[in-house]
Amino acid sequence: MSETTKDLYTENMIINMGPSHPVTHGTVKFLVTLDGEKIVDMKVDIGYLHRGFEKMCENSTWEQVMPFTDRLNYVSPLINNVGYALAVEKLIGIDVPERCKYIRVIACELSRIADHLTNIAASAMEMGAMTAFLYFVEAREFIWDLIESFCGARVTTNYVRIGGLKNDLPDGFKEKTLHALAEVRKFWDDVNKLLTKNRIFIDRVRNTGTMPPEEAISYGFTGPCLRASGVPYDVRKAHPYLIYDQLNFDIPVGEQGDNFDRYLVRMEEIIQSTRIVEQALEQIPKGPINICSPEYRWQPKEAVYDKIESLIFHFKTVVEGIKPPNGEIYFPIEAANGELGFYLVSNGGGKPYKCRVRPPCFPLTAAMPRMVKGGFIADIIPTFDLINMIGGECDR
Amino acid sequence: MKKSNTLKRLTEKFPNSIIETHSFRSDDTAVVKKNDIMEIFTFLRDDPDLLYNFMMDLTAVDYMGDESRFEVVYHLYSLKFNTRIRIKAKVAESECSIDSITSLWASANWFEREVYDLYGIHFNGHPDLRRILMYEDFKGHPLRKDYPIRKRQPLIGPIN
């Protein structure tokens, strides 16, 4: 065969994959240069979901930014809410009550479970495993029902407030959560049996999209993808925020840094997050959920209607916005995809002077060409799936 | 105290390049001269006592009305010592450029493209300085403070 074809004239083929391709969950365009089925070069084109997040923030009060953060990583919006609230609280220099911290941890970990479930479900489906998708989406339904029970929304949560929370957990939340987590574990066992030792699945993900640890660090990887490359960096352990230093959980680490390790790390993190939620529900104290500081956290409605001081504070904070002191801070938290950092600059006014988000999947998407070059075109699908690029967060 | 250690080492090593330092809310920050950033970043990354191996974030801030209008802000993280530092370099509007650090960290590539796209700061030596979030025919730089929030431009599809 090679004897007969070696003198034939061939040329590389350039194809457009996306911006709206069925297997790229997220609007992104790959401009792939192919030699047969081998990827010679690849350019990634993002920005299709850009909506000027920073520009909007600079023209809104500090409180009004909260619903915008829902739309960053819309698979785990509560983590973005918590990240922004913690960043502003660091800028102001306030600390929330103990009960609020526990509820925030529970909210974060439920979101992390939902995010990982969605990611693995969608990845499996895009590689042809429809059953795993259905199982995990059903499992996610249990988590979303829980989220709906305490904040009233499933996706656009807008639950966390600067200096507290919108409301407390509903009655019977602990029992409902323990039941939901038990159901999630059942689905987890099923999908684990379906995928983890499945020859067809392993052939797609093993040794594809491999990233050695040094390069992963240089590319700015964080989160499950960095840990899959064997670097045990997790913001929850490195700089414990909220009450993560009082909880027992493990950080799963991969060995080869390929797509299969990313899948395994996420699967294990689901289990670790259920552990965290169970511990937090066990230890959660009673008490207030909001700080008592009317210049930063709105007073309860009864006080606003009954007391003139509260009414004045309410009026001032709603119209002018809360006013953090002059300064700049960076606050990282561990989102489902990696380090989500907020860099805030305040000039003492009611609106952020600068509100920068460090989106964890932005550097991951930037490394796509590095991960797939030299591989087959079919490797794009598991690699792009398992870095879990979320358009809302990557493009902002 | 590891954190102040970085600032101490930095001011000892580059006394003439550091304009000021502060630690607001325990975030160590050094404002440096923009012409010396390559040496400073190489030192921060490779010095065995510092080892800032992650370039976590790169962005810019527009202080319109100040003498030097822009500030390019870098956030570094050292995995070994679990420390963070913020490096800021002032960039004037008249010579709106700074050296690219893509040779030190691959992650800088897209972050610098984003700053170029949204603020119009040029990165010298960047291998592929194109717009990234906005489309190619977009006029102006939307995150500059003098770009009106309600301004509309015709949307044109991307060019291959």
Peptide bond into A19 cis (omega under 30): yes
Residue B61's pLDDT is 92
Asked if the Cβ–Cβ distance from B56 to A339 is below 8 Å, we say yes
CB A97 within 8 Å of CB A290: yes
CB A324 within 8 Å of CB A90: no
| pLDDT, tens digit (0-9, with 9 covering 90-100), for A142-174 | 999 999 999 888 888 889 999 889 888 999 999
Task: Count up the domains in chain A and report the number.
Answer: 1
Question: Is residue A148 less than 8 Å (CB to CB) from chain B?
Answer: no
Dihedral, CA of residue B94, residue B96, residue B99 and residue B103, to nearest 10:
-170
Interface of A with B in 161-220 (CB under 8 A): 215, 217-220
Residue B159's pLDDT is 52
A289: exposed, middle or buried (C-beta count within 10 Å: 0-12, 13-18, 19+)? buried
Residue A134's pLDDT is 92
β B18-22/B29-32 pair status: antiparallel
- Identify the CATH assignment for B5-124 out of 2.60.40.10, 3.40.1350.10, 3.20.20.70, 3.30.460.80: 3.30.460.80
Residue A388's pLDDT is 87
Question: Is residue A54 less than 8 Å (CB to CB) from chain B?
Answer: yes
Q: What is the pLDDT confidence band of residue B13, given thresholds at 50, 70 and 90?
A: confident
Residue A108's pLDDT is 92
Residue A86's pLDDT is 93
Over range B29-38, report the average pLDDT: 89
Residue A309's pLDDT is 87
Asked if the Cβ–Cβ distance from B79 to A339 is below 8 Å, we say no
Over range A241-247, report the average pLDDT: 90
Residue ranges per domain, chain B? 5-124
In a domain? residue A112: yes
- Average pLDDT across chain A, whole number: 89
In a domain? residue A98: yes
Minimal CA separation from B13 to chain A, in Å? 24
Q: How far is CA A262 from CA A58, A200, A230, A382, B91, in A?
A: 36, 17, 10, 10, 40
Q: What is the pLDDT confidence band of residue A1, given thresholds at 50, 70 and 90?
A: low
Burial B113-128 (b: 16+ CB within 10 A, else e): bbbbbbbbbbbeebee
Minimal CA separation from A283 to chain B, in Å? 29
Residue A228's pLDDT is 92
Q: What is the 3-state secondary structure (H, E, C) of A232-280?
A: CCCHHHHCCCCCHHHCCCCCCCCCCCCHHHHHHHHHHHHHHHHHHHHHH
Q: At what angle do helices A259-283 and A380-387 cross, to 10 degrees?
A: 20
Pick from A219, A342, A394 the residue to mutate for testing the B interface (most B CBs within 10 Å). A219
Over range A312-321, report the average pLDDT: 88
β B122-124/B97-99 pair status: parallel
Asked if the Cβ–Cβ distance from A363 to B158 is below 8 Å, we say no
In a domain? residue A339: yes
Residue A45 pLDDT greater than 70, yes or no: yes
Asked if the Cβ–Cβ distance from A362 to B75 is below 8 Å, we say no
Residue A35 pLDDT greater than 90, yes or no: no
Minimal CA separation from A332 to chain B, in Å? 10
Asked if the Cβ–Cβ distance from B56 to A220 is below 8 Å, we say yes
Residue B157 pLDDT greater than 60, yes or no: no
- Residues of chain B neighbouring A220 (CB-CB closer than 8 A): 54-56, 105-107
| pLDDT, tens digit (0-9, with 9 covering 90-100), for A114-146 | 999 999 999 998 888 889 999 999 999 999 999
CB B149 within 8 Å of CB A55: yes
Asked if the Cβ–Cβ distance from A46 to B132 is below 8 Å, we say yes
Read off the CATH number of the domain in which A282 is found.
Answer: 1.10.645.10
- Residues of chain A neighbouring B64 (CB-CB closer than 8 A): none
Bridge partners (DSSP) listed for residue B31: B20, B88
Asked if the Cβ–Cβ distance from A329 to B59 is below 8 Å, we say no
Interface of A with B in 306-335 (CB under 8 A): 327-330, 332
DSSP A193: I
In a domain? residue A351: yes
In a domain? residue A5: no
Asked if the Cβ–Cβ distance from A52 to B53 is below 8 Å, we say no
Residue B158's pLDDT is 54
Minimal CA separation from A197 to chain B, in Å? 33
- Among residues A260, A259, A227, A230, the alpha carbon closest in space to that of A337 is found at A227
**Interior angle at CA B140, CA B139 and CA B145, nearest 5:** 150
Asked if the Cβ–Cβ distance from A329 to B82 is below 8 Å, we say no
Q: Give the side-chain half-sphere CA count within 13 A for B95.
A: 6
- Among residues A68, A283, A240, A81, the alpha carbon closest in space to that of A163 is found at A81
Residue B1's pLDDT is 41
| pLDDT, tens digit (0-9, with 9 covering 90-100), for A79-119 | 999 999 999 999 999 999 999 999 999 999 999 999 999 99
- Residues of chain B neighbouring A239 (CB-CB closer than 8 A): 82
Residue B2's pLDDT is 45
Over range A229-236, report the average pLDDT: 91
Over range B121-130, report the average pLDDT: 90
Chain B residue with CA closest to A332: the answer is B56
Q: What is the 3-state secondary structure (H, E, C) of A306-345?
A: HCHHHHHHHHHHHHCCCCCCCEEEEEEEEECCEEEEEEEE
- Write out the residue range of the structural domain in which residue A230 sits: 53-394
Asked if the Cβ–Cβ distance from A358 to B24 is below 8 Å, we say no
- Residues of chain B neighbouring A233 (CB-CB closer than 8 A): 79
CB A102 within 8 Å of CB A158: no
Q: What percent of chain A has pLDDT over 90?
A: 51
Residue A68 pLDDT greater than 70, yes or no: yes
> Which residues of chain B have a Cβ shorter than 8 Å from any chain A Cβ?
24-25, 27, 29, 53-57, 59, 61, 73, 75, 79, 82, 84, 86, 105-107, 109-111, 118, 131-135, 142-143, 145, 147, 149, 158, 160
Q: What is the pLDDT confidence band of residue B49, given thresholds at 50, 70 and 90?
A: confident
Q: Tell me the C-alpha distance between B79 and B51, whole Å.
A: 8
- Residues of chain B neighbouring A332 (CB-CB closer than 8 A): 56
* Closest Cβ opposite residue B75 in set A58, A341, A345: A341
Q: Give the side-chain half-sphere CA count within 13 A for B94.
A: 4
